[in-house]
Each structure stands twice: as C-alpha cells, then as structure tokens.
Structure 1
C-alpha cells in the first residue's frame, strides 16, 4: 500500500497584531493511503480519519522497507493516531 504524507496547517496572525498576512504553521503531520483509482492522488481520509481535502502534501518517500513513513524533521508534529494505525 502506498502512503502519502500530509501536513495539516493552521493560520495564525502576528502576535503583535501588526500588518501582514496570516502565517501557515504545522498543526500535525498525517499519513493517508494513496487513492486506488487515481495513481498519485491521496484518498479522502487520513489513517486517523481526518479529511485530506485541505491538507498539504509533503514530498517524501521512505528510504525503503521498514523506514519511517514520517520525514525525520517532522517528528515533533507526528499524528500519534496515524502512527498507531500504520503499526497495527
């Protein structure tokens, strides 16, 4: 099964309420199955059950069998529910 890595983002305004646009911050990093009908696309839900529609795809492929689905630099935002689903 192909796994797609997705970032769930949240928008935040500057803390000083100064001018500028909201900044995108990572809320969580999720895993989702690839869409079986459309190669290269992501399925409708992550392994933890969240909709993938508004998530941003991460360009990452595990190094090989047994390698982590999660990019090492994104470990602080790992979705624990997705990780449990992948390990079961």
Structure 2
C-alpha cells in the first residue's frame, strides 16, 4: 500500500507564509497524518487518513516517503506533530 503524507492545518494566521498560502497568511500544521492513495490513482489521497480522519480539508505534503529510503514516513521538521495513530498503523 502506498501512503501519502497530509497536513491537518490550523486556521489562517497573518504572521508569515508557507508555500501555497496567499498574501502572507500562514497555515500552521496542527498534525501530520498518513493516508492511503486513492484506488487507481497513486498520486491522489484517499478519503480517510490511516487514523480515520476525513482528508477533504487537509493539504497534501510535498514529502513522498518512498523517495527517502531509511527516513521516517513524515518530514523530520514535523516530528513533534505526527499523529500517533497513523504512526502506529505504519509501524505495524
């Protein structure tokens, strides 16, 4: 199974910016989740994360775990906000 990393974001804050956010708005990553790829479309996120949350309002990360052999499934800078339930599913 192929997993896609998705970000659960907080509300917009006008203090800085992340790529893809308009005019200096910052969307802080609240939690990093993993989601299976949609059936038949390996680059699209399925409807639910591995922990069961809806992916509709989540942002797909630019991080692809398969491109980083030996690294964690999530970007290292977000280690403190990784969803423990998604992490447990991946680790088993």
Report the TM-score, using the length of structure 2 for normalisation.
0.77
Does the residue aligned with 2:27 lie in a helix, a strand or coil?
A: strand
Alignment deviations for residues 18-58 of structure 1 (CA, whole Å, 9 cap, x no partner): xxx97422110000011122231010000000000000010
Is the contact made by 1:11 and 1:22 (CA closer than 8 Å) also made in structure 2?
Answer: no
Aligned residue for 2:79?
A: 75
Q: Is the 8 A contact 2:13 2:27 kept in 1?
A: no
SS at match of 1:49: coil
Q: Which runs of 5+ in 2 are unaligned?
A: 15-23
1:25 counterpart residue number: 28
- Alignment partner, residue 9 of structure 1: 9
Corresponding position of 2:21? none
| Higher Rg | 1
